[in-house]
Amino acid sequence: MAITLVPAATICTLLNLTERRVQQLVDEGIIIRPERGRYDLVRSVRGYVEWLQTRAVKGDAEAADDVEKAKLRKLTAEAELAEQKSAQIKGELVAASDVEREWASIFRQLRSSILAIPSRMGAALPHLTKHDIEVLDRGLRRALTDLGTAPRDDDIDDADARAPQGAVEPDPAAEAGSEHVDREGAEAT
């Protein structure tokens, strides 16, 4: 078979390519250019068709692989959802909002109980003065505030973890004017 050489314009028209793209395909060895500005028509068309076929097969394989990956992701998600529903039905899984609501209720009850301690202690221990009850109340309120603003465990470094929180310091000015009673009810001097 005789070699038919054609100009670049013919290759561009026949393959619907720009001259720049034809040059790129020459550099890749897909289109054959035996002479400057002249191209082997049959070998260039065959090379271009083979290149397109290879890309199509490769593209089909990649597309099939993507479809398989998507199916696997879907199956995995469906399995996880089924496990979650099963755990919820068995009572092993509860909604985060339900847990949060329950803990908030518990902490409100705990706070109320702690804030009631000073008045209960005043009634149970009559020797405590009004000042003693106020110091106890301030200490408990400070401890609750510290608990409410304390960093989470993973935010605390070793030095902070060892430091006591909520320690109540006595008020010397207030203590000077208060009267103290010993256990038998006699006034102490």
pLDDT at 92: 84
Q: In the predicted model, what is the mean pLDDT of residues 92-100?
A: 87
Q: In the predicted model, what is the mean pLDDT of residues 12-31?
A: 92
Q: Element (H or E) spanning 61, and its range?
A: helix 41-90
Q: Where are the beta strands (DSSP E) in 36-186?
A: 38-40
* φ and ψ at residue 120, rounded to 5 degrees: -65, -40
pLDDT digits (tens, 9 = 90+) for 27-83: 999 999 998 989 999 999 999 999 888 888 777 677 677 778 888 899 999 999 999
pLDDT digits (tens, 9 = 90+) for 110-153: 999 999 999 999 999 999 999 999 999 999 999 999 888 877 76
The count of residues in the chain is 189
pLDDT classification of 103: cutoffs 50, 70, 90: very high
pLDDT digits (tens, 9 = 90+) for 165-186: 554 555 544 444 444 444 444 4
